[in-house]
Structure 1
Amino acid sequence: MNSTELENRKPIWIALSKFYLDNELTCKDFDHMAIIFQKSGLHIKDIKQIDLMKVFPLLQPNLLNISGAWTDFDEDWLLSECIKHYQKRENRFYRLNYKFWNALFYWIRRDGWNQIEQRIINT
């Protein structure tokens, strides 16, 4: 991943991390996320792939943790770990593993994605 691509992904990774905080997202949160996704120039399908392959495998366990993060994740840690997950994307076991867990836990973010898609479609 070159530095330009990395700089373009950072806001997306940070915005996606909101799905995995142990609290309810507000309309303001969804508005902000939709703006970031639109500014990225990426199609929503591509952003969902970024979520699936990099952010979900890293942060989904927070939703199952009784004392999970409530406000924000440390950005330096988040970005460093997302880069590590990006580098594993071609590993077959890694892909099967996150797809399995996503099948079990997509329901947690389904409504959030619906909120984001509605905002993007209506702009």
Structure 2
Amino acid sequence: MMNLNKTIEQRKPIWNVISEFYLDTELQKSDYDRISKTLIASGLNIEELKAIDLYEVFPVLKENVLSVAGIWNGFDENWLNLACEKVYHKRRSIFFRWKTKFYNRFLYPMRKDHWIEIENRLKTH
């Protein structure tokens, strides 16, 4: 249980910065710089970070990408962390993974450019 709590605590800053990819706003250079610093500090590689996005953040926030009047000023941090933690526990389910990949096939283009920006910054670090 101690390792699980530690893992969850380590993921919270990652969930929070990745959630910005789902806001109905255009991220600026300074946003990408700040997001990159948090992701670099996590010590995780790009594939691990993308998996966190896909299986822990995307299932929670995909509806905001589809909404005509999506949230643009940030998600409530407590709500986000609880919601991401809930799906974190489902991430090994084959059905959950299949369903998430299915939706992602259609919705990844909406956040692809964000990941390109992040990958470019992580490569130079």
Q: TM-score range by the shorter chain?
A: over 0.9
Alpha-carbon offset, residue 32 of structure 1: 0.8
Confirm whether residue 75 of structure 1 aligns to residue 90 of structure 2. no
- What displacement does 1:2 show? 2.0
Deviations 1:50-85 (A, max 9, x none): 000010111011011122110100010000000110
1:1-123 matches, cutoff 5 A: 2-123=4-125
* Deviations 1:14-64 (CA, angstroms, capped at 9, x unpaired): 000000001111111111111001000111110000000010111011011
Deviates more, 1:59-68 or 1:47-56: 59-68
**Aligned structure 1 segments of 4 or more residues deviating by more than 3 angstroms:** none
Partner Cα distance (1:6, 1:106) in 2: 24
In the alignment, the residues of structure 2 paired with residue 89 and residue 5 of structure 1 have an alpha-carbon distance, to the nearest angstrom, of 14
1:3 deviation in Å?
2.0
Give the C-alpha shift of residue 108 in structure 1.
Answer: 0.7
Higher mean alpha-carbon deviation, 88-97 vs 39-48, is at 88-97
In structure 2, the gaps of 5 or more residues are none
Look up the equivalent residue of 2:55 and give its one-letter code.
M
Distance in 2 of aligned mates of 1:6 and 1:91: 18
TM (norm. structure 1) is 0.96
The alignment's TM-score, normalised by the length of structure 2, stands at 0.94
Letter in 1 for 2:6: T
Q: 1-side partners of 2:14 and 2:55: how far apart?
A: 13
Q: Could you tell me how far apart the structure 2 residues matched to 1:90 and 1:45 are? A: 16
Give the Cα separation in 1 of the matches to 2:48 and 2:69: 31
Query: What's the Cα RMSD here?
Result: 1.0
Identity %: 43
Report the Cα offset of residue 122 of structure 1. 1.3
